[in-house]
């Protein structure tokens, strides 16, 4: 597999890492990058992340065989509408966004008859952002979720699946709805909890944060993530995230009830169930 020209829309941590990984595995001849900051694009060029850079979306996607949307999910539809008339006929379009159900149909509608869109989501992020943190091995061993629909072109799905596999990722294919349900619980809710826990301590006494141990630091590491990025993600997955929050509140009530009743056995039972469940996570 080799794409002659790949375009990364949004050359940050994920987009930059994808560019480096494609080059490392010899899956493309050239990588173009688009962004809103000339300074950041210059950094990506200097570091060899991309081969060409432009602030012009039409120029960025011209003749591209593969276009990857790696900007905030709130911008996907706007970008798709802006580039659709400049796309190469039959180009493969994908994204790396953390929400799917609310954007997949919009992108399919926007690109119908012009290019083949298939959603994908590499679960390989970090609390760090920016192209300066891009790595060519970020996706090795990571799970990548692909979210085809009834409208998905089979050959496009096969190509995308092969692409991520070639980069060393484990591919999981599910519906956009199942993706959002899953991610609301294993990604979006944990971010909300990390932000809320940090704010809870800060509201009591900000100085307490200075004495945090490993447990608090591990639990709240993702609170260092971009607030703009995660606001978009939460709002775009509002329905599933609200359900996840309700489930979490239910579990907290169980702990609170056991504490109020001084029910030692019940607390042990709740904590043991969590410990045994957590042990199922490999390399965790």
> Could you tell me the domains of the chain?
3-174 (3.40.50.720), 178-278 (1.10.3660.10)
Whole-number pLDDT of residue 284: 62
In our burial notation (b when 16+ CB lie closer than 10 A, e otherwise), range 237-246 reads beebbeebbe
Neighbouring C-beta atoms of residue 161, cutoff 10 Å:
18
Q: Quick one: which of 121, 251, 253 has its CA closest to 187?
A: 121
User: Partners of 8 in the beta sheet?
Assistant: 33, 68
Q: Quick one: which of 280, 118, 101 has its CA closest to 178?
A: 101
- Collapse the DSSP code of 195 into the 3-class scheme (helix H, G, I; strand E, B; otherwise coil) and give the result: helix
Half-sphere exposure of 190 (CA within 13 A, CB side): 13
pTM, full prediction: 0.91
Blockwise average pLDDT, block size 10, the chain, 284 residues: 92 94 95 92 92 95 96 94 95 96 93 95 81 90 96 96 96 97 97 98 97 96 93 96 98 98 98 96 75
Whole-number pLDDT of residue 127: 67
Q: Give residue for tokens 């979720």.
A: 145
DSSP code for 221: G
Q: Which tokens go with 271? A: 């904590």
Element (H, E) at 200: helix 189-204
Whole-number pLDDT of residue 227: 94
């Amino acid at each position: 597999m080799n794409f002659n020209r790949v375009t990364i829309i949004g050359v940050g941590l994920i987009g930059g890492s994808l560019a480096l990984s494609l080059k490392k595995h010899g899956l493309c001849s050239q990588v173009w990058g688009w962004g809103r900051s000339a300074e950041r694009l210059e950094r990506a060029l200097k570091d060899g992340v991309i081969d060409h850079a432009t602030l012009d979306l039409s120029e960025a996607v011209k003749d591209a065989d593969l276009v990857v949307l790696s900007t905030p999910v709130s911008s996907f539809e706007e970008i798709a509408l802006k580039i659709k008339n400049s796309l190469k006929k039959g180009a493969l379009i994908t994204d790396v966004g953390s929400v799917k159900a609310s954007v997949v149909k919009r992108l399919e509608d926007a690109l119908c008859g012009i290019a083949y869109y298939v959603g994908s989501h590499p679960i390989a992020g970090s609390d760090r952002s920016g192209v300066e943190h891009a790595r060519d091995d970020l996706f090795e061993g990571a799970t990548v979720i692909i979210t085809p629909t009834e409208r998905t072109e089979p050959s496009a799905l096969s190509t995308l699946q092969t692409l991520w596999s070639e980069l060393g990722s484990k591919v999981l294919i599910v519906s956009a709805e199942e993706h959002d349900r899953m991610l609301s619980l294993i990604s979006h809710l944990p971010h909300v909890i990390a932000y809320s826990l940090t704010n809870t301590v800060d509201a009591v006494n900000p100085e307490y944060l200075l004495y945090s141990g490993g447990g608090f630091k591990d639990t709240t590491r993702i609170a260092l993530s971009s607030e703009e990025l995660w606001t978009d993600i939460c709002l775009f997955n509002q329905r599933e995230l609200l359900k996840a929050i309700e489930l979490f509140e239910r579990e907290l009530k169980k702990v609170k009830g056991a504490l109020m009743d001084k029910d030692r056995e019940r607390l042990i039972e709740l904590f043991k169930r969590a410990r045994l469940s957590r042990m199922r996570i490999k390399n965790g």
